[in-house]
Amino acid sequence: MTQPDFAYGSADSGRGARTLSLFVDRPHLRTQLHQDAEQAGFSVLHAGPLADLARGSPVPLGHALVVDCPVPGEEAVAALTRADERVSRNAGQLIVSTTMDALDGVFASCKRSGPQILVDPSHADRVLALGRVLATGTGGRVREMNEADRLTLLRLTEQVGQIAARLDSFGGSAAGSYGASQPAENRTERLQSPGLAFSGAPDPGSERLVRSARPPLPDPRLVRRIIRHRQLRARFIEGDLFADPAWDILLDLTAARAEHVRVSVSSLCIAAGVPPTTALRWISQMTEAGLLQRIEDETDRRRAFIALTDQMSDAIARYFAEIGTEPLPLV
């Protein structure tokens, strides 16, 4: 009989202890995370290198799994995919730290568990991720919140994260690390796909009516101009005053859909104009809310794309049809 890849829980799990396992190659980082987890109240079941995930012997899973995957090779991607499946089955939580270069591969490997993905995280980012595990509870209770409560929690988390990051990096600067002002044409992650079919799920009973009444999407050149105007503000005015990643994400995906272009998650993080870890949290929340959808690459399992749902695309088309081009400088 084949042994399972993971053993869920431990002798302590029945006593109410929150358990966690670490798979981190860098010894100093593994030690730091071990200390942070214990200080947060976790019982650490396992702390070892990433290779432990690929071994045949059972490995403790616990309530949460922390994986550091900065350069995902084939073995690392396979182990991460397996971890994602096991965490999802056991209603646990997964935290994955990675780099911007490896983000697309990591994102494509994590399809089921709804992980927290941290991109080039600071110490503060990692501590906040552990805090979110404690706040949401086993099985991801945050998903049971209504939309207003979920958005409030997300905004509060971002505010706490900004404060923690500033305290954690006094004397340094993270400006420019997420490319908020990079023009769309310079983002090499964007993939051309003129024949892309978008697979939304409108109500079958009203599909014909929606299609006949739906206005066309705006000219993508107009949307790109709006995006450039929004980026231009950051050159003269403190960017945090106008931080609105949700709208920037929607604008970028609107232009991409009108251009028949597929957008990778790393490209969308750049378009959001905020740190990638922050952008990923917004993308996750917007996907859960039905605004965005994840589209797997059928030719390459190491890639996945983000697109507007049909309902969101229809809403944006109606919005642009209503405002026309008059308010362009103010959008």
Weakest mean pLDDT among 44-48, 135-139, 205-209, 286-290: 205-209
At residue 140, the pLDDT reads 43
Q: Give the pLDDT confidence score for residue 249 in this predicted structure.
A: 94
- At residue 328, the pLDDT reads 57
User: Across the chain, which distance is largest between two alpha carbons, in Å?
Assistant: 68
Tens-place pLDDT, residues 56-98: 557 777 889 999 999 877 888 888 888 898 888 888 899 999 9
Q: What is the pLDDT of residue 197?
A: 36
Of 28-37, 219-228, 257-266, the one with minimum mean pLDDT is 219-228
Q: Rounded CA gap, 287 and 309, in Å?
A: 9
Q: 178 pLDDT exceeds 60?
A: no
Alpha-carbon distances of 158 from 123, 154, 155, 321, rounded to whole Å: 15, 6, 5, 33
For position 327, what pLDDT does the model report?
A: 53
Q: 3-class SS at 29?
A: helix
What average pLDDT does range 3-23 have in this prediction?
Answer: 59
Provide the residue ranges of all domains of the chain, joining segments of one domain with +: 6-168, 184-330
Q: How confident is the model at residue 309 (pLDDT cuts 50, 70, 90)?
A: very high
pLDDT at residue number 151: 61
Out of 146-155, 159-168, 186-195, 317-326, least confident range: 186-195
Q: Are 245 and 272 in contact (CB under 8 A)?
A: yes
Contact between residue 119 and residue 276 where contact means Cβ atoms under 8 Å apart: yes
* C-alpha span between 126 and 121 (Å, rounded): 7
Residue 39, C-beta contacts closer than 8 angstroms, at least 6 positions apart: none
CA 273 to chain centre: 14
pLDDT at 233: 79
**Nearest-angstrom CA–CA distance, 24 and 173:** 26
Is residue 21 over pLDDT 90?
yes
- CA–CA gap between residue 59 and residue 203 (Å, rounded): 44
- Say if residue 161's pLDDT is above 60: no
Strand 6-7 relative to strand 42-48: parallel, antiparallel, unpaired?
A: unpaired
What is the model's pLDDT at position 193? 36
Whether the per-residue pLDDT at 330 is higher than 60: the answer is no
Kindly tell me if the per-residue pLDDT of 103 is higher than 70.
yes
The 3-class secondary structure across 227-271, one letter per residue, is: HHHHHHHCCCCCHHHHCCHHHHHHHHHHHHHHHCEEEEHHHHHHH
**Per-residue model confidence (pLDDT) at position 108:** 92
CATH of domain 6-168: 3.40.50.2300
Q: Residues of the chain with pLDDT > 70: what percent?
A: 66
Determine which of 170-174, 259-263, 268-272 has the lowest per-residue pLDDT on average: 170-174
- Specify the residue for token string 């024949």: 195
| Two structure tokens written together for 192 | 């051309």
Quote the pLDDT of residue 212: 47
Inform me whether the pLDDT recorded for 190 exceeds 80.
no
pLDDT at 104 over 50: yes
What is the chain's alpha carbon radius of gyration, rounded to the nearest angstrom? 21
* Alpha carbons 149 and 132: distance in angstroms, whole number: 15
CATH 3.40.1440.10 holds for 184-330: no
The confidence score (pLDDT) of residue 79 equals: 83
| Per-chain mean pLDDT for the chain | 76
Rounded Cα–Cα distance for residues 181 and 273 (Å): 7
What's the whole-number mean pLDDT along residues 281-291? 92
pLDDT (0 to 100) of residue 118: 96
Task: Give the tens place of pLDDT for each residue, 221-263.
Answer: 888 888 888 888 777 777 666 667 899 999 999 999 999 999 9
For residues 193-212, average pLDDT = 42
